[in-house]
Chain A
Amino acid sequence: MVERTLLIKARLGLHARAAAKLVRVASGFQSQVQLRRVHGSLSADAKSILSVLMLAAGCGTELQASADGIDEEAALDAIDQLFAEGFGEMEPESSI
């Protein structure tokens, strides 16, 4: 199993559109992917949109992502990239 800490930079947090992207990406891998709030106890299955939305993770939330399976590294890399890009909603440099 591999783990990584991720920061949500998208302004609206993990809202419907961002969550949908995340679930699509995570579902492309065989590994199980979990997200857990660093502060708090909530955790979510990254392949379930209802579960991801229920994390209610706003902008600035830190999440611990873990993947377990044959493609665990690749899965976390892909998710890491999605977070870094702010889910393609805004370039990270255009902070307001």
Chain B
Amino acid sequence: MMDERPEIRCKGLGVSDGIVIGQVLRLHDGTQHVYHWRIHDADLETERQRFRAAVELASRQVLAIKEGAEKRFGKDHAYIFDAHLLMLEDEKLIGDIERHIIEKHENAEWAVKVVGDSFLYLYSQIKDDYLRERGSDIEDVMQRLLVALSGAQPGNRNLSEDAVIVSQDLLPSAVAELDLEHVRALVTDTGGWTSHTAILARGVGIPAVVGLRDFYRRTRTGDKIIVDSIRNEVILNPSAETLKFYQGETADRVKRQDSADFKATGPVCTQDGVEVTLRANVEVPSEFEGVETFGASGVGLYRSEFLLARRGAMVSEEEQREAYEAVAKVAGEQGAVIRLFDLGGDSLRQQFDEPEKNPALGLRAIRFVLCNQEIMRKQVRAILLAAANGKLDIVLPMVADVSDVRRAQAVIQEEANNLRNAGRSFGEVRVGAMIEVPSAVLMADKIAQTVDFFELGTNDLVQYTLAVDRGNDEVADWFRTLHPAVLHSIDQSLKAAARAGIPAIVCGEMASTPAYAVLLVGLGATDLSMTPSAIPRVRRAIAGIDSRDALVIIEECLNCDTAADVENLVRERFTKLWPQLFPPASLPAPRQSEAK
């Protein structure tokens, strides 16, 4: 009998959707045992050559990783491997190690460790945060040299069929090297929505949960693990009961993957003939493939700030134009909606500036670009130029009222005029507003009269309507997507759009969760945009329901007093009406704090 270890549940942030049952494969992000031995005079040259060969092998590996990363993430994100290559060519580093071997008569591994550690120490003394972090690049390179010296081939780890990678933090090169065909899920202690792990997982369509704090140290390779990114959770050593529950879930999933929903494209129809368009939210080139694979009708939201992910370095107009053209090409006839840079001043701040006290309510999104017109105009020009070769629209993030919209429209108009006067060819774009703050909801009728379309960002809408930071565990009980206040906000915004006769796209996590998507349809939404991999299951849910039933349920929800009431109601009604479509696990779980 195996030792009975208790089930451990750990909450993190699900950054790539899916549920997987698998086995832990711990991936250490650093230290290896390094042995020390003396080299005799006669063997010194051989040892030096052994080291040189390891450097060459490491360089070839990094070059391959760099090329792979360029393809998957774009040139901008592969530059870090250029720095790794230069480190392997660095006379200071390589020369110091060689001299150490010769002068101290010590083996190459030991020399790498001693010299590497001395550099790491120097870096740890640097005052600049960003440059100090470059120590992790030196560690990455040292690690690679040690592996090369040991003769092991990295990347050829024997992955079991159901390997779930568990790590403290995945180094970029480790991620790039993983044999992703065999990895079922990624789990890390650190990281957020835009960490390497998250981006990569979304790109290849495997589940990932990040930000689990001290999960890694609790695991052993071979432990059974359930990764449930939909509930932002991982479960180590699941009990027989938990396992049974999840086996049902995943069996369902496999069945679904073979079904027609995975091959369907175009809009989906409810049983009573209401047509719903399903679009894709994308961010990085690695996600583009999913637009076609999962049958999306174009791109409903392109998060352009990814172009600036290199901590604030500005990309040129030409680079942006190329990026937007690529998005338009992927989106095809249905077109793509480019969201202007949705970022706070903090990400482009000079290092000596004071940080904002309350960045979520600070100079961010539309406010930031309006105050930094060089940046805004450059982006607008790039979009207009790219629109000459594809169908593109612009959406303004976080508008508070009509004045934000008018100011942005004036800039867009001016740039279009400038391009026209310069005789350059550009395309017409429609301009929409993100409805994601309470003032925009309250003023939705006015805003609807000034824009071409609405886009409802449900994540921020929940956060700003309920005044709850979703990243803060202490207030997790207050973050309720199904809060009646949130549902009323969505209802009002959709009605305002309908009154003005403009389309409204609902994006955000709500649209990618089948049960919530059905509620949105009840509210009259006919255009949803989501993570590409979520499209098949949302398609299946919508195809299986009658929108009139959804309407009856949502009207009851709108009359509820509390979020818990809504959640209970949804659980009850969905289970009764559509037991096949919505097994209990696909519905909002009762909160423990409110369990009866």
Contacts and interface: CB of A to CB of B under 8 A. Distances in A.
Interface of A: 10-13, 15-17, 19-20, 23-24, 45, 47-51, 53-54, 56, 58-59, 88-91, 93-96
Interface string B291-327: 0000000000000000000111110100000000000
B86 A20 contact: yes
A94 B378 contact: yes
B87 interface: yes
B86 A12 contact: no
A31 to B, nearest CB: 15
B148 to A, nearest CB: 19
A16 B187 CA distance: 27
B111 to A, nearest CB: 16
B128 A56 contact: yes
Nearest to B316: A91
Contacts of A11: 312-314, 348, 350
B152 to A, nearest CB: 25
B92 A51 contact: yes
26 contacts: A11-B312, A11-B350, A12-B311, A12-B312, A15-B130, A16-B134, A16-B137, A17-B82, A17-B313, A20-B82, A20-B86, A24-B86, A48-B91, A48-B92, A50-B87, A50-B90, A54-B122, A54-B126, A59-B350, A89-B313, A89-B314, A93-B374, A94-B374, A95-B374, A96-B350, A96-B374
B17 to A, nearest CB: 32
Interface in B323-360: 348, 350-351
A94 B308 CA distance: 15
Contact of A54 (B123, B311, B314): B123
Band of interface residues on B: 20 to 34
Contacts of B138: 50
B80 interface: yes
Given A10-B313, A13-B131, A49 B122 contact: no
A41 to B, nearest CB: 15
Contacts of A47: 91
A50 B138 CA distance: 9
Interface centre among B83, B122, B123, B372 (most CB of A within 10 A): B83
Chain B interface mostly helix, strand, loop or mixed?
helix
B106 to A, nearest CB: 21
Interface of B: 79-80, 82-83, 86-87, 90-93, 119, 122-123, 126-128, 130-131, 134, 137-138, 310-314, 316, 348, 350-351, 372, 374-375, 378
Contacts of A51: 90, 92
B131 A15 contact: yes
Given A13-B131, A48-B93, A96-B348, 16 more contacts: A11-B312, A11-B348, A12-B130, A15-B130, A15-B134, A16-B137, A20-B82, A24-B86, A45-B92, A47-B91, A48-B92, A50-B90, A51-B92, A53-B131, A88-B316, A91-B316
Contacts of A56: 126-128, 131
Nearest to A96: B372
B90 A49 contact: yes
A34 B137 CA distance: 23
Contacts of A94: 314, 374-375, 378
A40 B126 CA distance: 14
B90 A90 contact: no
A23 B88 CA distance: 13
A58 to B, nearest CB: 6
A27 to B, nearest CB: 8
Nearest to A89: B313
Given A49-B83, A94-B375, A13 B92 contact: no
Nearest to B350: A59
A56 B86 CA distance: 17
A12 B418 CA distance: 31
A47 B93 CA distance: 12
B134 A53 contact: yes
A56 B132 CA distance: 8
A16 B122 contact: no
Interface centre among B79, B127, B128, B137 (most CB of A within 10 A): B128
Contacts of A88: 316
Contacts of A23: 86
Contact of B83 (A12, A19, A58, A96): A19
Nearest to A23: B86
A17 B309 CA distance: 13
- The 6 A-B pairs at the shortest CB distance, nearest first, are namely A90-B314, A94-B374, A49-B86, A48-B92, A89-B313, A16-B83
Contacts of B119: 50
A50 B92 contact: yes
Contacts of B122: 54
A72 to B, nearest CB: 19
B372 A20 contact: no
Interface centre among A13, A50, A94, A96 (most CB of B within 10 A): A50
A48 B90 CA distance: 5
Contacts of B313: 10-12, 17, 89-90
A58 B349 CA distance: 13
A50 to B, nearest CB: 5
Nearest to A95: B374
Nearest to B127: A56
B521 to A, nearest CB: 43
Contacts of B92: 45, 48, 50-51
A17 B79 contact: yes
